[in-house]
Protein backbone atom coordinates (compact mmCIF):
# COMPACT_ATOMS: atom_id res chain seq x y z
CA UNK A 1 0.00 0.00 0.00
CA UNK A 2 2.89 2.34 0.70
CA UNK A 3 4.16 1.87 -2.86
CA UNK A 4 0.66 2.47 -4.23
CA UNK A 5 0.40 5.77 -2.36
CA UNK A 6 3.90 6.83 -3.44
CA UNK A 7 2.93 6.16 -7.06
CA UNK A 8 -0.51 7.83 -6.71
CA UNK A 9 -2.35 4.56 -7.36
CA UNK A 10 -5.12 5.28 -4.90
CA UNK A 11 -7.56 2.75 -6.34
CA UNK A 12 -5.18 -0.17 -5.76
CA UNK A 13 -4.36 1.10 -2.26
CA UNK A 14 -8.06 1.17 -1.38
CA UNK A 15 -8.45 -2.26 -2.95
CA UNK A 16 -5.68 -3.58 -0.68
CA UNK A 17 -7.56 -2.20 2.33
CA UNK A 18 -10.73 -3.93 1.16
CA UNK A 19 -8.87 -7.23 0.79
CA UNK A 20 -7.53 -6.81 4.32
CA UNK A 21 -10.98 -6.06 5.72
CA UNK A 22 -12.44 -9.11 3.99
CA UNK A 23 -9.68 -11.34 5.39
CA UNK A 24 -10.13 -9.94 8.92
CA UNK A 25 -13.92 -10.41 8.80
CA UNK A 26 -13.61 -13.92 7.38
CA UNK A 27 -11.26 -14.97 10.19
CA UNK A 28 -13.27 -13.06 12.86
CA UNK A 29 -10.17 -11.10 13.86
CA UNK A 30 -10.68 -8.40 16.46
CA UNK A 31 -7.07 -8.07 17.65
CA UNK A 32 -5.98 -4.55 18.44
CA UNK A 33 -2.49 -5.32 17.09
CA UNK A 34 -4.07 -5.62 13.61
CA UNK A 35 -6.84 -3.04 13.90
CA UNK A 36 -4.58 -0.13 14.89
CA UNK A 37 -2.32 -0.37 11.81
CA UNK A 38 -5.43 -0.81 9.66
CA UNK A 39 -6.95 2.43 10.95
CA UNK A 40 -3.61 4.19 10.35
CA UNK A 41 -3.64 2.94 6.74
CA UNK A 42 -7.24 4.07 6.38
CA UNK A 43 -6.42 7.62 7.53
CA UNK A 44 -5.34 9.09 4.14
CA UNK A 45 -8.67 8.06 2.59
CA UNK A 46 -11.13 8.50 5.45
CA UNK A 47 -9.50 10.67 8.13
CA UNK A 48 -12.61 11.32 10.21
CA UNK A 49 -13.55 7.64 10.32
CA UNK A 50 -9.96 6.66 11.13
CA UNK A 51 -9.85 9.16 14.00
CA UNK A 52 -13.15 7.83 15.38
CA UNK A 53 -11.91 4.25 15.16
CA UNK A 54 -8.66 5.28 16.84
CA UNK A 55 -10.61 6.79 19.74
CA UNK A 56 -12.68 3.62 20.10
CA UNK A 57 -9.47 1.60 20.19
CA UNK A 58 -8.29 3.80 23.07
CA UNK A 59 -5.68 5.69 21.12
CA UNK A 60 -4.85 9.06 22.70
CA UNK A 61 -3.04 10.85 19.90
CA UNK A 62 -4.29 11.74 16.44
CA UNK A 63 -3.36 9.59 13.46
CA UNK A 64 -1.80 12.50 11.60
CA UNK A 65 0.95 12.54 14.24
CA UNK A 66 1.55 8.79 14.10
CA UNK A 67 4.34 7.00 12.26
CA UNK A 68 3.46 5.16 9.06
CA UNK A 69 3.37 1.39 9.69
CA UNK A 70 6.47 -0.55 8.69
CA UNK A 71 6.77 -4.11 7.50
CA UNK A 72 9.33 -6.83 7.10
CA UNK A 73 9.71 -7.60 3.39
CA UNK A 74 10.95 -11.12 4.13
CA UNK A 75 7.75 -11.96 6.04
CA UNK A 76 5.51 -10.49 3.34
CA UNK A 77 7.12 -12.52 0.57
CA UNK A 78 5.32 -15.56 -0.81
CA UNK A 79 7.06 -18.89 -0.25
CA UNK A 80 5.98 -20.33 -3.62
CA UNK A 81 5.69 -18.90 -7.13
CA UNK A 82 3.73 -19.84 -10.23
CA UNK A 83 6.20 -20.92 -12.89
CA UNK A 84 5.20 -20.90 -16.56
CA UNK A 85 6.71 -23.81 -18.48
CA UNK A 86 6.95 -23.48 -22.25
CA UNK A 87 8.08 -25.82 -24.98
CA UNK A 88 9.16 -23.96 -28.13
CA UNK A 89 7.52 -20.80 -26.81
CA UNK A 90 4.10 -22.37 -26.18
CA UNK A 91 2.74 -22.60 -22.66
CA UNK A 92 2.47 -26.28 -21.74
CA UNK A 93 2.18 -26.20 -17.93
CA UNK A 94 2.07 -23.94 -14.91
CA UNK A 95 3.78 -25.22 -11.77
CA UNK A 96 3.72 -24.03 -8.16
CA UNK A 97 7.34 -24.24 -7.04
CA UNK A 98 9.41 -23.08 -4.10
CA UNK A 99 10.75 -19.54 -4.53
CA UNK A 100 14.43 -19.30 -5.53
CA UNK A 101 14.71 -23.02 -6.29
CA UNK A 102 18.19 -23.82 -7.68
CA UNK A 103 18.25 -24.07 -11.48
CA UNK A 104 19.28 -27.75 -11.55
CA UNK A 105 16.45 -28.77 -9.20
CA UNK A 106 14.00 -26.62 -11.15
CA UNK A 107 14.97 -28.21 -14.48
CA UNK A 108 14.72 -31.70 -12.96
CA UNK A 109 11.22 -30.90 -11.72
CA UNK A 110 10.18 -29.48 -15.09
CA UNK A 111 11.63 -32.35 -17.12
CA UNK A 112 9.85 -34.88 -14.92
CA UNK A 113 6.43 -33.22 -15.19
CA UNK A 114 3.81 -35.47 -16.79
CA UNK A 115 2.20 -32.77 -18.96
CA UNK A 116 5.50 -32.09 -20.71
CA UNK A 117 6.39 -35.68 -21.55
CA UNK A 118 4.36 -35.83 -24.82
CA UNK A 119 6.09 -32.65 -26.03
CA UNK A 120 9.58 -33.87 -25.14
CA UNK A 121 9.49 -37.52 -26.22
CA UNK A 122 11.59 -38.16 -29.29
CA UNK A 123 12.97 -34.62 -29.31
CA UNK A 124 16.34 -33.28 -28.30
CA UNK A 125 16.45 -30.23 -26.04
CA UNK A 126 18.51 -27.65 -27.93
CA UNK A 127 18.25 -24.77 -25.47
CA UNK A 128 16.98 -24.11 -21.94
CA UNK A 129 15.91 -20.60 -21.00
CA UNK A 130 15.29 -20.05 -17.28
CA UNK A 131 14.00 -16.81 -15.85
CA UNK A 132 14.18 -17.37 -12.07
CA UNK A 133 10.79 -17.52 -10.31
CA UNK A 134 8.91 -16.82 -13.54
CA UNK A 135 9.54 -19.00 -16.59
CA UNK A 136 11.23 -22.05 -18.07
CA UNK A 137 11.30 -22.36 -21.86
CA UNK A 138 12.62 -25.50 -23.50
CA UNK A 139 13.56 -25.31 -27.17
CA UNK A 140 13.35 -28.76 -28.76
CA UNK A 141 14.16 -30.12 -32.20
Average pLDDT over residues 91-110: 90
What residue spans in the chain does CATH classification 3.10.20.590 cover?
A: 80-140
Q: Is 82 helix (H, G, I), strand (E, B) or coil?
A: strand
Give residue-wise pLDDT tens across range 5-26: 889 989 999 999 999 889 888 8
- What pLDDT score was predicted for residue 91? 94
pLDDT confidence band for 48 (50 / 70 / 90): very high
- What pLDDT score was predicted for residue 87? 93
pTM for the full model? 0.54
Q: How far, in Å, CA of 40 to CA of 54, rounded? A: 8
Burial class from Cβ neighbours inside 10 Å (0-12, 13-18, 19+) for residue 11 reads exposed
CA atoms within 13 A on the CB side of 124: 2
What residue spans in the chain does CATH classification 1.10.730.10 cover?
A: 2-75
Is a pLDDT exceeding 90 seen at residue 1?
no
Give residue-wise pLDDT tens across range 63-96: 777 888 787 777 777 788 999 999 999 999 999 9
Q: How far, in Å, CA of 20 to CA of 40, rounded? A: 13
CA atoms within 13 A on the CB side of 77: 10
Query: Class for domain 80-140, per CATH?
Result: alpha beta
Which CATH number is 2-75's, of 3.40.50.300, 1.10.730.10, 1.20.1290.10, 1.10.630.10? 1.10.730.10
Amino acid sequence: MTQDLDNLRFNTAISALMVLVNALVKEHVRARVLLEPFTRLLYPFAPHLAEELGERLGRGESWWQAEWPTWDEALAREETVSLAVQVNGRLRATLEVERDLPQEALLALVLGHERLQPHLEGHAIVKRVVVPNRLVNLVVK
